[in-house]
Amino acid sequence: MATVAWKQLLVNALESNSHLKHSTFFQLATVGTNGTPSNRTVVFRGFQDNTDNIQINTDSRNRKIEELKRCPSAEICWYFTDSWEQFRIYGNIDIIDGANPDPLKLQQREKSWFANSLRSRSQYLGPNPGLPRLIEQAQPEESLDPSTGPVDAFCLLILEPDQVDYLNLKSNQRLTFKSVVSAATEKSWIVEMVNP
């Protein structure tokens, strides 16, 4: 039961808060290149097929990529305002960019690319994120062929959860889930009820 219990809690929270557009946004914290915390809001892009791994799209030119290359450990914090539920999910992030040598991962990247709207995909054609804007005038519109695969700047991040801290403020319940890997390298979860 503990194998899917936290994921089912998360799916239920997503469904019960689906009328709120912000319910698909969560905070992603990484370790900055200078060793300090680095945090930003990202969009939930679903679970990786048949897993509890969380998908996030990002620009490969963004500083979080350099941070994750140095330290792949990350934590997300997700708060659902209607159901008063918080999920803190810790794990390691796999970076899947166009240079990834694994053909299956490149297929995942392409699938994630086409799952987004054309407007969302067009964001990856703009100038490098975080650099000073050199020209005050509007950037020229670059057109994107809807049938074209991912552009170089598009990157898929896969967070593989190792620990989940679930807090329900309505019921005053808190559960922690920790993954364990057996000798046969099969992953399972241990759940513990803790004080809120």
What's the pLDDT at 74? 98
The residue whose two tokens read 């979860």 is: 189
* DSSP sequence for 104-130: HHHHHHHHHHHTS-HHHHHGGGSSPTT
Task: Kindly indicate the confidence band of residue 142, based on its pLDDT and cuts at 50, 70 and 90.
Answer: low
Q: 82-98 b/e with 16+ CB inside 10 Å = b? A: ebebbbbbbbebbbbbe
| 3-class DSSP assignment, residue 178 | strand
Please indicate, yes or no, whether the overall pTM of this predicted structure exceeds 0.85: yes
Any idea which of 19-28, 43-52, 128-137, 161-170 has the lowest mean pLDDT?
128-137
CATH class of 2-127+145-194: mainly beta
**Residues found in the chain:** 196
Q: Nearest-5° angle of CA 75, CA 76, CA 79?
A: 145
CB neighbours of 35 closer than 8 A, spacing ≥ 6? none
User: pLDDT > 90: what percent of the chain?
Assistant: 79
Identify the DSSP state of 47. Answer: B
Say how far apart CA 54 and CA 128 lie, in whole Å: 25
Structure tokens belonging to residue 123: 């964001």
What's the pLDDT at 143? 75
Sequence spans of domains, the chain: 2-127+145-194
Task: Kindly indicate the confidence band of residue 4, based on its pLDDT and cuts at 50, 70 and 90.
Answer: low
| Helices and strands counted in the chain (H then E) | 4, 8
Mean pLDDT within 24-30: 98
What's the pLDDT at 3? 44
